[in-house]
Amino acid sequence: MTSHLRKTTTAWHVNKAALLFLPFLLCLFAGLTAKAEPIYRWQDESGRVYYSDRPRSTGDKPAQLPSLTRDDLDAKIGRIKAETPPNCDKHGGVDCQKGPDDDGSVFCRDGFHNAVLPFRFRCLESRLEADFFLIFREGSPHRVERQQQVSSLLKNEWPTGLSVAVRNLSEVEAFGVKVKFIVPGIPRKHLAAAGPDRIPPYGFAEYSVSLAGVELPPTTHQWNGLKYKLECTNCGAVLDRKN
């Protein structure tokens, strides 16, 4: 097999194209130098570079290769912990009932008040996460993975309904929750999903809509434009799922 790098019994012959591999060689040889095994380097008349673990003559000197350094992982972890802003993880969690501190941060359940987490983010805004499903006449609903083409789930059958399973990831009740599906076509259909107006802290809710009587996209390719929009009155962001 032809290669830019040809290893002999005592040396590696490197042409100009093989210089791309030089960083790898330096790392390799640096490892060898860490074991007190010298590596020798020289060039011939045409400029080709050679590396070897054996000198050509008594006058050859070891190549100056970078030395390896090893980080103290325990010390690095310690520095990261020291630089991490204080939070309530080791203080019983966040106590939203106490309201915000003077600087707008949260109080912890054990009274610790030096946490830097914003009260508004943790105690006033809810954070929602959703999974999108296609409902067919028979069988279980098909989950649409992120970035997945809807058309890949259509097996000679259009869905009879759409559903979004929503989880509240915060300890703040979400209210004014609304889910809307946008079905592609001419014109596009905006379908409001049925579901609860509120989701309790760390709770779950389902929002769905029937496609019975709705004029659907005629081709599987057009189904890839299907999306939903999830929002609530006290949500930090609107979730807009697009393909």
Mind listing the pLDDT tens digit for each residue in 56-101?
776 677 877 777 677 778 888 888 877 777 888 888 888 887 888 8
| Core vs surface per residue 181-197: b (16+ CB within 10 A) or e | bbbbbeeeeebebebee
pLDDT digits (tens, 9 = 90+) for 182-222: 888 756 678 999 999 999 989 999 999 998 888 888 788 88
Question: What is d(CA 127, CA 104) in angstroms, rounded to the nearest whole number?
Answer: 19
Structural domains for the chain: 1-70 (no CATH), 83-123 (no CATH), 125-241 (2.60.40)
**Alpha-carbon gap, residue 14 to 7, rounded angstroms:** 9
The model's pTM is: 0.55
| Digit-coded pLDDT (tens) for 20-56 | 455 555 555 554 444 557 888 878 888 888 888 888 7
Q: How far apart are CA 165 and CA 206, in angstroms?
A: 5
